[in-house]
A = this chain, B = another copy of it.
Amino acid sequence: MVRQFDTELDTLKQQILRMGGKAEAMIQSSVQALVKRDLSVADNLSQLEEEVNSLQVEIDDQCFKALALRQPMAHDLRFIIAAMKISADLERIGDQAVNIIENTKILLEFPELKPLIDIPQMAEISKGMVRDSLDALVEGDAAKAREIVLRDDKVDALKNQVFREVLTYMISDPRTIQVGLQLILVARHLERVADHATNIAEDVVYMVEAKDIRHHAEEEHHADKETQG
């Protein structure tokens, strides 16, 4: 027999997945608008932002009700705590998409600097981290979640590459300064998307293993690297 509470937790999980899908779509739209130099690609952004915000309020509300009425214990309690944190991270991922479209608006006032390679790649990896961290949540898969934390380094490395490359342009030709600055800011926003996905993955490990890896992520990380070679 299925507990009524299990059905509620399942609904909560579905809502998080929906919210994640929309946050990911926001990143997709904003980066595509940037790459294609066409703001109309991101016409759906405000609508998605509203939906993401409503979902956050709904999720928090359901978590509150579950805590107040169900007195959840152990794994269920950790799931509800994780759900509240994850909804906050997803909402902030959506905020980054809004930041990116603001940068794009300024950037489109100027000629194209160069075809973008690293930024779309950062977007792909970050979106993958978001998607996979939510899969790990649904599957209760801590190993998968831990693997996501490791990908954060790749996004950081790409961000540094964007910084270095764009700076070279800016220094050699001052007319590229405004565009370069916007590209650097976009790279930072995408780095933050990856950070939020990392937070989600850490919350999944906490939920599954009742273990807080947040401030030991680096040690874990080094340990993993050592075992790799």
Contact = CB atoms under 8 A, between A and B. Distances in A.
A221 to B, nearest CB: 16
Interface string A194-229: 000000000000000000101100000000000000
Contacts of A146: none
B185 A178 contact: no
Interface stretch (A8-16, A65-73, A109-117, A129-137): A65-73
A84 B87 CA distance: 13
Contacts of A171: 174, 177-178
Interface in A37-74: 53-54, 56-57, 60-61, 63-64, 67-68, 71, 73-74
A81 B57 contact: no
A119 interface: no
Contact of A60 (B57, B177, B178, B212): B212
13 contacts: A56-B214, A57-B214, A60-B212, A61-B212, A67-B81, A68-B77, A84-B84, A170-B174, A171-B178, A174-B174, A181-B181, A181-B184, A185-B188
Interface of A: 53-54, 56-57, 60-61, 63-64, 67-68, 71, 73-74, 77-78, 81, 84-85, 88, 167, 170-171, 174, 177-178, 181, 184-185, 188, 212, 214-215
